[in-house]
Structure 1
Amino acid sequence: MDTITLPATATDATATAPSPDALGVSAARARSAVLEELIREEPGRFRVLTGDRPTGRLHLGHYFGTLHNRVRLQDLGVELFVLVADYQVLTDRDVADNLTGHVEDLVLDHLAIGVDPARSTIFTHSAVPALNQLMLPFLSLVSVAELGRNPTVKDEIAHSRQSAVSGLMFTYPVHQAADILFCKANLVPVGQDQLPHLEITRTIARRFNDRYGAGAALFPQPEALLSSAPLLLGTDGTKMSKSRRNAIALAADADETARLIKGAKTDSERHIAYDPVRRPEVSSLLLLAALCRQCTPEEIADEIGAAGAAALKKTVTEAVNEYLAPIRARRAAYAQDRAQVRAILREGNERARAVADTTLAEVRAAMNSRY
């Protein structure tokens, strides 16, 4: 795919490849706004790489944070690669428990929300050897100091479950660069915390082109499509997370959803109002209902008024269950035929392998290492 050239006002800093701190989130958002216009005008110019680690069932935070946007891009005509990052499960775990089941559940969740395997490629790390081989030359293009300064790596290490940091954890940004560049993705949807990772990918692409490209750009420097997704809190009032068991899974049934929302943390004020700073838990529930009903949180709050937390939770439960009903129905239909799910994944793996093999052959040719 071609490198996307944005108007000068949005890309003045691109030529010097600034760090995310120098670029700033506000500038990244301005760039993303321009990209959105280009996507609407010429979606076929773009190839997106996105994905998740298979560590458990995806939940509403994932859906409104990233999954919904993946389907939107696919339906606009953007080529979509969805990575099931099974190798990266090992970055902060000693053992990958129930990996096969988690991989299949991740594929089921994507099929349920509308990712179309005829138009998009769903694949796993472990099934694409050429992708992982790209890590070796890419590692030679970054220094240990550069990896150590990466704020996202620092945060992931700080929250690691392991007593010692693995080499895979430390080199995670380079593996992610291989994920993105193997298919020459030129667009990566990210949250602002992922901007440092993407900057390493851009650095690797630029350095490879400079060192081995002989004046030609083998790899695009992928652009960040910065997410403006709202933050949903978990039922305990903290960040929604699989590991914290405070999330509503897409695969949860209506009764489980009702039980989880009933136990959600609120506050002692009876009048319901949207105030994210002063009343974060209540506001998060209002936001969830509003996202499901496609209105504003203020409208939901006005509807409930002084009816209290019980009425709020009832409203949220009804909105979530109504919104998820068709997704759950599709998921249940796919789940009845696991063989079909595995066949979809095999086909995606085959497509990804073909792309990766071509890219690796180009890399070897550029490095003069074809024997």
Structure 2
Amino acid sequence: MNANPTTTPDREQVHSTESVRTARERSTVLEQQITADPSRFRVLTGERPTGALHLGHLIATLDNRVRLQAQGVEIFLIVADYQVITDRDVAGDLPAVVREVLLDYLAAGIDPEATTIFTHSAVPALNQLLLPFLSLVTVSELERNPTVKAETAAAEKRGRRGMSGLMFTYPVHQAADILFCHANLVPVGQDQLPHLEISRTIARRFNNRHAADQPYFPEPDALIVPTPTILGNDGAKMSKSAGNALEIRASEDDTVRFVKRAKTDSERHITYEPDRRPEIANLLTIGAHFARTTPEALAEEVGAAGAGRLKQVVTEALVEGLRPMRARRAEAAERGPEYLRAILARGNQRANEIANRTLEDVLKLMQMRY
């Protein structure tokens, strides 16, 4: 009997569901291994310096990095300045933005003595790995990458500017970021699993082709971490460019205004229902994060007191939670730009030492040392 095409699950969707389930199970094991022996792991993570970081970054990524750092995991934190020009004509005032991002890292609790902070553009050997890595993937594999697919659709909609070659090869550049330092762990949300798969594929193919007897690159594992979508005060996803974000560097007065303007709904009794009441759920998520409780517990605490009381509770939790971060940020800023440049110089030096060794090893394995 032929299956009804309207009820048969899409093969790609089924595969994706199975991959997520497997990755979650693997992440549980990895968390146990991290607790038992953090020295086994090296993490690569980071972001594009397109603006100062905000509350969404703090809750979704920065706090997890600080947690792993405190557990003793070695972390490489890349400020991916080359990736700024993947989808824009000009990079803007990168020096100023990089300084702000560094201050936000320090505010969140990133310790530059424990975590290696470096920039893309300062590590030539890392970027040179892009050439051999590109030979290990096909055009169709790059076209299937979610970021590339999304940019292809966006470029078609814009009509005026096609996708850049740098954006098209972005998944391979990302693999170089991860593999140059032999990172074996990458914290991601479950929707980012396809991005990491290219890195795993490149590592596996390089090993099979050039280092079959003794694999050289580890196939990096995904550490699935909760990455809640934090909404801005307009009810849309918090974004640097949308003007709806609460930046880490914002003042206490800005924090009060941000929460006061946040969208709610007309129901008085506060409940945590993300699908039905996204704006209320967002405030509960933010408040619970800083109050060190759960959104459900916070909803029960506020109950029939309504959205006004919820905003009051969230404001108090935010102000208290961000106060020590803002103090650390102010202290770092007072030490001046030379202090920040010294942090980057140390991180860049270490990243270069590792990248140079990796590139040399790769060239020897490919028999390109004459």
Query: Distance in 1 between the 2:203 and 2:147 partners?
Result: 19
Distance 2:364 2:244 in 1: 50
Q: Show CA shifts across 1:256-304 (max 9, x none).
A: 1111111111111222222212111011101111110011223322332
- Matched residues in 2 for 1:214 and 1:320: separation? 52
User: Which residue pairs with 2:41 in the alignment?
Assistant: 46
What is the CA deviation profile of residues 153-186 of structure 1, one whole-angstrom value per residue up to 9, with x for unaligned ones?
A: 2124434687210001111000000000000000
Q: Provide the residue aligned with 1:171 in structure 2.
A: 169
**Aligned pair count?**
353
2:73 partner letter: V
Within a 5 Å distance, the mapping from 1:242-253 to structure 2 comes to 242-253=240-251
Which residue does the alignment assign to 1:364? 363
Question: How does 1:111-126 map onto structure 2 within 5 Å?
Answer: 111-126=106-121
Q: Does 2:96 align with 1:101? A: yes
Letter in 1 for 2:305: A
1:354 matches 2:353: yes
Q: How does 1:193-232 map onto structure 2 within 5 Å? A: 193-232=191-230
1:17-36 equivalences in 2 (<5 Å) = 21=16, 23-36=18-31
Paired residue secondary structure (2:369) = coil
Separation of aligned partners in 1, 2:177 and 2:67: 21
Deviates more, 1:254-263 or 1:47-56: 254-263
Q: Which residue of 2 aligns with 1:338?
A: 337
Equivalent-residue separation in structure 2 for 1:143 and 1:43 (angstroms): 35
| Aligned match for 1:278, one of 259, 263, 276 | 276
Q: 1:206, 1:103 → 2: CA distance?
A: 34
2: CA distance, partners of 1:157 / 1:328: 39
One-letter amino acid of the counterpart of residue 188, structure 1 = V
Gap change, CA 1:274 and 1:21, over 3 Å in 2:
closer
Q: Which residue of 1 aligns with 2:9?
A: none
Secondary structure at the counterpart of residue 43 of structure 2: strand
Give 1:122's aligned amino acid: I
Fraction of identical pairs, as percent = 61
Match of 1:7 in 2: none
Cα distance in 2, alignment partners of residues 20 and 107 from structure 1: 39
Per-residue deviation, residues 6-38 of structure 1 (Å, max 9, x unmatched)? xxxxxxxxxxxxx97374211110110011011
Matched, 1:138 2:139: no
Q: For 1:367 and 1:23, how far apart are their aligned partners in 2?
A: 35
Find runs of 4+ consecutive structure 1 residues off by over 4 angstroms: 159-162
Q: Any unmatched runs of 5+ in structure 2?
A: 1-13
Contact 1:152 1:196 survives alignment (8 Å): no
The residue matched to 1:82 in structure 2 has which SS?
Answer: strand
Asked if 1:297 is matched to 2:295, the reply is: yes
> Residues 151 and 163 of structure 2 are in contact (CA less than 8 Å); yes or no, is this contact kept in structure 1?
no
Higher deviation after alignment, 47-56 or 23-32: 23-32
**CA distance in 1 between partners of 2:15 and 2:368 (Å):** 34
Distance 2:320 2:135 in 1: 51
1:328 is matched with which residue: 326, 329, 332? 326
Corresponding residue to 1:187 among 185, 188, 196: 185
CA distance in 2, matches of 1:189, 1:157: 26
What is the root-mean-square deviation in Å for CA atoms of aligned residues? 1.6
CA positional deviation for 1:249? 1.0
